[in-house]
Every structure is written in C-alpha cells, then in structure tokens.
Amino acid sequence: MNEIFSQGHESKTIRVNMLARVEGEGALHIDIKDGDIKNVQLNIFEPPRFFEAFLAGRHYSEVADIVARICGICPVAYQMSAVHALEKLFEVNIDPQVRKLRRLLYCGEWIESHALHIYMLQGPDFLGLHDALELAKTNPDIVKRGLRLKKIGDEILKTLGGRAVHPVSVRVGGFSKAPSQKALNGLLEALTWAREAAIETLQWTTTLDFPDFELPYTFVALSHQDEYPFNEGEVAVSGTAGQARYAVSDFEQHFKESHVQHSHALHCLYHDQPYLVGPLARLNINVDKLSPNTKKALNDTGLSLPFTNPFKGIVARAVELLECIEEAIAIIETYEVPASPYAEHEVKAGTCMAATEAPRGLLYHHYKVNAEGMIESAKIVPPTSQNQTRMEADMSVLLPSIQHQDESEIAFACEKVIRCYDPCISCATHFLKLDINRSS
C-alpha cells in the first residue's frame, strides 16, 4: 500500500503509508535540499491513550492490570516497573523464591519478544523478504524454529500468569498464586530443546550480511552487581558520553523528556544528547554478567564487543534469547514453592520510582501515592521514546550516502534502520509515513 511519487527534478516526495513489521504506527519525514539532509523527523502518530492521566485516582492495587495495557508485546515490563516502584515505597521484602519467579516471568517475555523480532520482524530484512511467511516457503525449518521458541516464551508466561498477553497474577508484593514445582518442571523439556535452538539462532544471526554502519553511540542500560539486568540495578551509561552510574531515583535529573510537535511520543535525552537503550546497550554494558554457557556461545561466534552497529542488535537479541533460556532452566531447577506467593505490606504516602529492562530497553515509572494508597500522579518513560532521537540521528548519518538512490530504496533503507530498534510505537504512544521532500 506504499505510495511513491515524484514532484519534478528539484523537489521530490516519497510517502510510505505504513511502516511494516513494527509495533504501532508512525511516519518519517525527510527534507533534502541541494543534496543536503536538512531535517529527519520520525513522527509517531499512534493516538494518545492517556494512561498517565487515568492512573490518577486509581488504587495502587489496580496499577499492574492497567499499565499492562500500554503494550501487548511487553506487558510484563510495565507490570514489573510498576510493582517494583510501589514496593520500594511500601518497603516490601520480597521472598527470594518470588524474586526468582519474577525473573522467570521476565525471561518468558524476553524469549517471546526476541523470538518474534529476530524471526518475524527484523530477520526478513536481511534476506530481502517481505515477511517470515515468505521465508517459510523456502526455509520452513528456520521459521518453525522461531515460532517454537516464541511459543516457549508464551508457555512460561502462561504458566506463571495465566496467559501470555496481559498476564493476571502479578501484584504488589509478589504473585496472586505461585506455580507448583511440577508445573514449572513441565517446561524443562521444551527449554532443553530451546537451549540448542537458541544457539542455532545465534549462529544464524552471525551469518547475516551486516551493512557497514558503525556509529559512536551512548549506551544506557540497567546494571546489577551480580546478574544480567531484568528487574533491578543502577542506570549505567557507557560509550561516547563517557562512563557514569546513577541511582534510578536520580533518573529524571539526567534524562529529560521534551514534547516536540511532530510526535505523540515524548523525546528523552541524556544531558541533551540522544542515546540508545535495548539489547545492544544491555549486552555492551553487562556482557560480564552472562552465564558461562552464553559467554561460550558468544565467544564461538568470533564477534567482539562492544557492538556499535545497530544492525547487530539482532545478534544481541539472540545472545539474550539464549541467556533467558539458560536462566529459566537454572531458576526452575532450584525453585521451591514460597511459603506465601506475596508479601503483606502497609500503604504509605510518598513518591516512588523504578526502572526495569523491557525487551526493547529501559522502562522507567514514577508514582505519587497518597496515604489511602490512591495514585495521585504517574509518569512513564518507555524505551521507544528514549530511542526516538537516536533513530533520527542514525538516519541522518545514513541518508547522505544513499540519497541519490531510488526513492523506494531510500524508504526501505530507513525502515530497516528503524526496525533495528524494535520500536514499540504503541508503547511510545503508530502510522509510519515516510515523506521525503527534495528541493534545491
């Protein structure tokens, strides 16, 4: 349904009515004048859904069910950032087995989301295909492997949360119900297969043809002293902006959102500069926290870190896919049913913040709660609004080298860059139109 047209020699317009294989709707606007790139704007037109407004006046116990609905691909991330923030305020002590279950739930979401992105959203770009269904016609085994991996992520979510999309068991203090050992052991056989399938996935991603596109990035991800980050850690910065570590409670001092005219997503900058969140940043910052098996599999690829090519995000996702499977197996093998699935707690008034790692990057929540446990205000900074300025900057670097190409080729090249980031435009607030104006 793409519409491509030209308006004479001096000024040209390309319009792609919908960016494919991303979650949500956005548009891209590019101005080229006398061969110079004047302006690149990623427009996010996903209609605003006002979550932060209608969270006000709700009871804290309702938040996990509401924020899940921001994103059907990463509902667990929203639930986790929310309950962690509220638990900090209420000073809830989480049972170690419940903490394990939360990491397992997050493993399920990462496996599901990463398998979807590797095989169905970004993978086809490297092969010049429209979708995974085309790939299934020539290489059914590859696509079946991807679908089966995704299913295992879904099964973990279902076992812990009742269903894969918008699971129902997460609550402040833990879970409404903890699974039996038997229920979790039931996942082991599939996970053992998945371990090999994830190694094959990683090897497959390294055979893809990566464009020569190395950039000086600032990476931002959570970092925890002894584990690969899901739920907890400090905010770590590395790359061109130098090294830094911040407490999550100081996030808003260093990372500031602004509202620009061309987008329904708020842009977030680190000390006024664009930065990158997601698998690439997480892996570069936390590679030493990977399990021995994942480290070995990464070493076997012969690739060296840090990755500074956004297209290698697919390799980082495959590394994380394997890591989640390793961790899921380790958790299940040592799991004991907790005495209670959730910790009792007392409500306190105050403000609270938490950040956790959604599959596509750091997700920050901030709530103000009154003495009755009612939410007075909420602020949510999703990964895609953090990556938005970085996506625009990447395209500004790419465009001079390809601007003389055919319009449809430019459009495709830009879409490929955007897909590297696995943007969840529904999260950030969707309609990706590509609009290129060329004038002299």
Partner 1 sequence: MTSQKQRPRLAVFKLASCDGCQLSILSLEEDLLLLDQAVDIAYFPEASSRMEDGPYDITLVEGSISAPEHIEQIKNIRAQSGLLVTIGACATAGGIQALRNGADVADYVATVYAHPEYIQTLKDSTPISEHVKVDFELWGCPIDKEQVRHFLSDLLAGVEPRFPEHSLCMECKRQEHLCVLVAKGEPCLGPVTRTGCGAICPAMGRACYGCFGPAEVSFPAGREHANADALASRFSEALHLSNDEVLRRFKGINSHASAFKETAGKWQKMEENKHE
Cis peptide preceding 306, ω within 30 of 0: yes
Please report whether residue 4 would count as binding partner 1 according to CB under 8 A. Answer: no
What minimum distance in Å lies between the beta carbon of 428 and partner 1?
A: 12
Tokens of 106: 């997050």
Which H helix or E strand runs over 97?
A: helix 96-116
Q: Interface with partner 1 includes 426 (CB under 8 A)?
A: yes
User: What is the C-alpha separation between 116 and 105, in angstroms, rounded?
Assistant: 17
Residue 72 binds partner 1 (CB under 8 A)? yes
Q: Which of residues 393-412 bind partner 1 (CB under 8 A)?
A: none
**Please, which residue, 210 or 412, has the CB nearer to partner 1?**
412
Is the Cβ of residue 42 or residue 222 nearer to partner 1 in the bound state? 42
Comparing CB distances to partner 1, the nearer of 17 and 273 is 17
Sequence-separated (6 or more) residues with CB below 8 Å from residue 59: 373, 374, 375
Beta strands, E only, 277-392: 350-358, 361-369, 375-381
Interface residues for partner 1 in 254-313 (CB under 8 A)? 258-261, 264, 266
Which residues touch 311 (CB under 8 Å, ≥6 apart)?
208, 210, 211, 213, 416, 420
Between 88 and 151, name the residue whose CB sits nearer to partner 1: 151
Q: Any bridge partners for residue 28, and if so which?
A: 42, 434
Give the residue with the Cβ less far from partner 1, 44 or 395: 44
150 part of the interface to partner 1, by CB under 8 A:
yes
Looking at 81-89, 133-141, 233-241, 313-321, which segment touches partner 1 (CB under 8 A)?
A: 133-141
Q: State in angstroms the smallest separation of the CB of 52 from partner 1.
A: 5
Residues 12-71 that bind partner 1 (CB under 8 A): 17-25, 45-50, 52-54, 56, 58-59, 62, 65-66, 69-71
In this structure, is the dihedral angle defined by the CA atoms of residues 224, 225, 228 and 231, taken in order, positive or negative?
A: negative
Residues 370-389 that bind partner 1 (CB under 8 A): 377
> How many residues at the interface with partner 1, by CB under 8 A?
73
Rounded-to-integer distance, Cα 93 and Cα 84, Å: 11
Side-chain-side CA neighbours of 99 within 13 Å: the count stands at: 11
217 vs 421, beta carbon nearer partner 1: 421
Based on the shown chain and the rule CB under 8 A, indicate whether residue 359 belongs to the binding site for partner 1. no
Sign of CA dihedral 190, 195, 200, 201: positive
Binders of partner 1 in range 315-354 (CB under 8 A): 341
Q: 253 by DSSP, 3-state: which?
A: helix
428 binds partner 1, rule: CB under 8 A: no
